[in-house]
Structures are given as structure tokens and as C-alpha cells.
């Protein structure tokens, strides 16, 4: 029999069981966050346009109609179609708000207000509501009302100049979707903070997470260095941070590994493994500062040495000495790696239309209440009747709403 202090969750429970989210978000920043919460048990009701659904259903799609973009970011949710311009649709939203814990949106600032769904209006229906906005630039300032996508968040944060090599060099996107993905993780974090505060103090609140703010936080050490010294960190724009911290091609052309040594005590061992013991005694390379200073002459020597063995041999040799070293993978290779499979970072799912798929799993692992891939992405309006039925709508009334184009 459990003791009075035993607060273990019932078997099979998920961390967010019972949490309900009304999801107005589109594209990536918002949908990725709510998908993360769905994987942890939240009931996410996604609002979509009747008929066509969200535009991202047609992104990253080939001839079979499968959208990797939508499938990855909207899995495990329920789809409710509503024409939000119609009064009856607004009444459905208000009824849902009275039942949910969170409203999530990433419209251009002012859109929710024009629809009649401002925080002030919705909190009248539910004073404990958490109203979560994923924005481009934050809720204040001269750019707050501007439209934004991922690439604009990257551009305004400085990361495109930093990734392109600094002033005088063309800017470069480090990775398409980076601002959205960073924003999504912070958005989910903000929602969880607000849920925690509500459990402690009983209050709802409004939160905002922006593309710009997320990218600045991502670059915090680089930004601080620049603001303190007036220029970027010395390795900015180089292929490697320093000769012992970056990628090298191995014996097989096109095959790379990454050496990641920051401990100066490892330099002699690195030289020995590479068959270059004389470098360890060379005064021009005796410390990290000098190795960085003379990188243009040192790195070609290391590159030549790395091309004498295949990748797996180098990785075994360095890791045997406790020196971090790993492979540079493409997506196929990382999916096949036993480490990826052992931790369920890639997992199989069965899609009713597209058959067997392998999808990205849950990155946060909890010992007692683990999450799971919540399911596949819904068809447009797949759960409209079910959601409205939960609100007490009869089949006849639902049919009438469909006839008038409300749903």
C-alpha cells in the first residue's frame, strides 16, 4: 500500500494529461511548440480554415501530397475548422476558451484583437487563461506590428552577418528555420512556466516569445563579447573556432569528423595520435592563443594528417584518450546510428495514408512520466465534429454550421 507521502503518478500518465490548448498558430514557431506539448500529453486543438486548412499543409510536399513540414510540426493535434470571421465561429471559440488552459497564437500583432480574441476579451471568459503569443519582434517598440518570418528574425539578430564572416562579407542563413525552432522551444518553455505559476499562485497571464529575442539569447556569449570589446570573437567567420575545434576530412573523400578539444593539456596527445609529435614541441603552437594566431599554417598540417585514416579509426583513437571526437553525419547516417535508435530520437509511426514513417522522437526524457510521439498530423477538420460534440452541439446543429460555411 502506498504511503501518504507517495506522490507517484498513475502508470501510463503523461506530464500534461488534462492540459488543453487552443492553438491558432501557423507555420513553425508556434506549431512546433504546441507539438512539443502534445507529445507530453496536452490536448491541442488546432484551428484551421475550412476546406483548405493551414497553408503549411502544402509546404515541403512532393507529388504524393505528403508535407514533411506539416507532419513534423502538427503531429498529435486535433483539427477544428472555423471561419473566424463569422459570429457563430466566434461563439465556438469563446466556448472553447472557457474549457482550455492555454490559447496559443502567432498572428501578426493586432490580428487577434481584430478578430475579437484579445487577451482582455478572452480572460473575461476564463480568468485563469494563459494567453501565449509567439511574435516576430516582441510586444513593444516601433517594429512590434510588422510581419515577420524566420529569415527576418535571423537577419535582425546579427546571426546572418556573424555566419557570413562579418562586415564586408555576404550575409548567410546558418540554417533555415533556426529562428523559428529556437523561438518554438522558448515558447513551449514560456507556456510551461505560466502553467507552473498558475499551479502555485492561481493566476493566468499573457506571455510573449519573439524570433528576435530568441536569436539574441542563442548568441548571448557572442553578443556580450562584441558589446564589451567592440568586435566579434577572433574565430568569427573561420571554418574552425581554433585548429583543435572543428571539422576535418578523413581518408575517404567527402567523409568528415569533428575534433572538439578545448583543454590545452590534450594538445600533446593530439599531436601524438596524428603522428605529428614535433608540433607539440614547437614554440609557435605551445598554447591555444598561439595555435589560433598561427592557424593558417597549422591547420593544413592537421588536414594532411587526418586524410591518412578513415573516420572510424580516428574517432576510436581520440575517444580512447578522452578527447571529444565524432562523425559529421548526413540525415540518413544519423537515423541509422545505433545511438539515435537506442534513445528513440528517431522512431517509427504508422500513418493511415502514407504507411510506415520514421519521425523525430521526443528529445526530453523523463524517467517516471515519459512523453511519446503523440500521433500523426490530422486531416483538415478531422476532429471538428468531435470537438463541437464536446461543447454540446448536436449532429443537426453541426450539419447546419457546415452548410453555412462556419466550419
**Domains, the chain:** 20-218+377-403 (3.40.50.10540), 245-328 (3.30.1540.10)
- The yes-or-no verdict on residue 2 having pLDDT over 70 is no
Read off the pLDDT of residues 237-279 as tens digits, 9 standing for 90 and up: 667 888 999 999 999 999 999 999 989 999 999 999 999 999 9
Read off the pLDDT of residues 297-329 as tens digits, 9 standing for 90 and up: 999 999 999 999 999 999 999 999 999 999 999
- Say what the pLDDT of residue 1 is: 36
Distance between CA atoms of residues 254 and 260, nearest Å: 19
pTM of the model: 0.91
Query: Of the candidates 160, 209, 216, 151, which has an alpha carbon nearest to the alpha carbon of residue 184?
Result: 209
Residue whose C-alpha cell is 523525430: 360
- The yes-or-no verdict on residue 4 having pLDDT over 60 is no
Query: Of the candidates 77, 81, 92, 91, which has an alpha carbon nearest to the alpha carbon of residue 20?
Result: 77
Inter-residue contact 85 to 120 (CB < 8 Å)? no
**Distances from the Cα of 73 to the Cα of 194, 229, 380, angstroms:** 22, 40, 15
- The yes-or-no verdict on residue 3 having pLDDT over 60 is no
Q: Is 135 exposed, middle or buried (0-12, 13-18, 19+ CB in 10 A)?
A: buried
Q: Is 322 exposed, middle or buried (0-12, 13-18, 19+ CB in 10 A)?
A: exposed
Choice between 162 and 401, residue whose per-residue pLDDT is larger: 401
Residues tagged active-site: 180
Over range 384-402, report the average pLDDT. 97
Lowest mean pLDDT among 82-91, 160-169, 362-371, 390-399: 160-169
Choice between 173 and 347, residue whose per-residue pLDDT is larger: 347
Choice between 352 and 11, residue whose per-residue pLDDT is larger: 352
Lowest mean pLDDT among 79-83, 153-157, 162-166, 215-219: 162-166
Choice between 174 and 78, residue whose per-residue pLDDT is larger: 78
Neighbours of 243 (CB within 10 A): 27
Amino acid at each position: 500500500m502506498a504511503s501518504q507521502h507517495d506522490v507517484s503518478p498513475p502508470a501510463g500518465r503523461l506530464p500534461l494529461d488534462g492540459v488543453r490548448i487552443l492553438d491558432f498558430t501557423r507555420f513553425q514557431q508556434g506549431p512546433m511548440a504546441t507539438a512539443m506539448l502534445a507529445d507530453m500529453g496536452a490536448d491541442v486543438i488546432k484551428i484551421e480554415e475550412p476546406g483548405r486548412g493551414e497553408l503549411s499543409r502544402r509546404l515541403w510536399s512532393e507529388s504524393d501530397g505528403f508535407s514533411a513540414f506539416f507532419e513534423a510540426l502538427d503531429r498529435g493535434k486535433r483539427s477544428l475548422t472555423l471561419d473566424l470571421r463569422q459570429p457563430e465561429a466566434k461563439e465556438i471559440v469563446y466556448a472553447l476558451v472557457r474549457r482550455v488552459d492555454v490559447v496559443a497564437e502567432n498572428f501578426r500583432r493586432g490580428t487577434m484583437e481584430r478578430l475579437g480574441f484579445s487577451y482582455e476579451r478572452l480572460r473575461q471568459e476564463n480568468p485563469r487563461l494563459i494567453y501565449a503569443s509567439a511574435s516576430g519582434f516582441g510586444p513593444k517598440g516601433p517594429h512590434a506590428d510588422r510581419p515577420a518570418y524566420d529569415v527576418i528574425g535571423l537577419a535582425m539578430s546579427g546571426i546572418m552577418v556573424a555566419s557570413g564572416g562579418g562586415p564586408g562579407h555576404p550575409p548567410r542563413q546558418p540554417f533555415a528555420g533556426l529562428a523559428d525552432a529556437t523561438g518554438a522551444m522558448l515558447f513551449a518553455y514560456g507556456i510551461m512556466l505560466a502553467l507552473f505559476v498558475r499551479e502555485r499562485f492561481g493566476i493566468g497571464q499573457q506571455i510573449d516569445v519573439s524570433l528576435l529575442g530568441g536569436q539574441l539569447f542563442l548568441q548571448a556569449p557572442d553578443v556580450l563579447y562584441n558589446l564589451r570589446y567592440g568586435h566579434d570573437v577572433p574565430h568569427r567567420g573561420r571554418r574552425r573556432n581554433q585548429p583543435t575545434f572543428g571539422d576535418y576530412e578523413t581518408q575517404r573523400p567527402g567523409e568528415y569528423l569533428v575534433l572538439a578539444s578545448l583543454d590545452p593539456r590534450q594538445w600533446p596527445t593530439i599531436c601524438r595520435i596524428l603522428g605529428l609529435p614535433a608540433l607539440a614541441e614547437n614554440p609557435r603552437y605551445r598554447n591555444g592563443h598561439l595555435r589560433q594566431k598561427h592557424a593558417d599554417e597549422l591547420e593544413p598540417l592537421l588536414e594532411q594528417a587526418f586524410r591518412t585514416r578513415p573516420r572510424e579509426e580516428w574517432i576510436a583513437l581520440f575517444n580512447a584518450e578522452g578527447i571529444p571526437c565524432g562523425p559529421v553525419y548526413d540525415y540518413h547516417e544519423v537515423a541509422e546510428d545505433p545511438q539515435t535508435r537506442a534513445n528513440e530520437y528517431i522512431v517509427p509511426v504508422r500513418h493511415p495514408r502514407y504507411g510506415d514513417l520514421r519521425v523525430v522522437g521526443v528529445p526530453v526524457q523523463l524517467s517516471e512520466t515519459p512523453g511519446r510521439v503523440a500521433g500523426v498530423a490530422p486531416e483538415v477538420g478531422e476532429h471538428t465534429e468531435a470537438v463541437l460534440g464536446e461543447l454540446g452541439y448536436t449532429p443537426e446543429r453541426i450539419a447546419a454550421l457546415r452548410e453555412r460555411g462556419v466550419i
